[in-house]
Amino acid sequence: MTGIFYGSSVGNTRFVAEKLALLLPGSELNPVETATQEDIEKYDFLILGTSTWGVGNLQDDFETFVDTLLTSNLNGKTIALFGLGDQFTYPDTFCNGMGRLYELIKDKGCDFVGKWPSDDYDFSDSLAVVDGEFVGLALDEDNEPDLTDYRLGEWTKGF
């Protein structure tokens, strides 16, 4: 079973999460502001989505949800990440929220899927890039909303 967990302040991440749910029949949407440890642990496959706020921080609801996530048993779970950012206004922190989330859970015994190439973006630095690739799908709804559907479709083919 697939659980899509997202934090959204202005609606963009929720919008992307809803599109993902349509591409992945049988998946369930879980806003992180109400998600519990039991919600996390009932899924084998977790898709976690956050935007980046301030100077490269996680979205507010995700900041609170991290404690729940870290006390959950993630051992053996498959996890995919997606992040939203603004590569032109914040080129030095593009999708850092996704990178911070990855750093927090990478040693929790889970298997990550869904790395994404970083070469089709215009940014200078990102915590979400490891070994030349994004740790998950990077989206820019502010500047490239026309690429979101294509990127989501290609990304989910890997699942």
- Tell me the CATH number at 90: 3.40.50.360
Model pTM? 0.95
Q: Using CA atoms, how far apart are residues 120 and 117, in angstroms rounded to an integer?
A: 7
Give the pLDDT of residue 13.
96
Instruction: Indicate the residue type of 30.
Output: N
Give the pLDDT of residue 37.
97
Give the pLDDT of residue 62.
87
Q: Using CA atoms, how far apart are residues 80 and 111, in angstroms rounded to an integer?
A: 9
Give the pLDDT of residue 53.
86
3-class secondary structure, 41: helix
Give the pLDDT of residue 97.
96
Give the pLDDT of residue 92.
95
The total number of structural domains in the chain stands at 1
Give the pLDDT of residue 121.
97
What 8-state DSSP symbol labels residue 126? -
Domain span at residue 20 reads: 2-157
CB-CB contact of 52 with 8 (8 Å): no
Give the pLDDT of residue 41.
97
Show pLDDT as tens, one digit a residue, over the chain (159 residues).
999 999 998 889 999 999 999 999 999 999 999 999 999 999 999 999 999 988 788 888 888 899 999 999 999 999 999 999 999 999 999 999 999 999 999 999 999 999 999 999 999 999 999 999 999 999 999 999 999 999 999 999 988
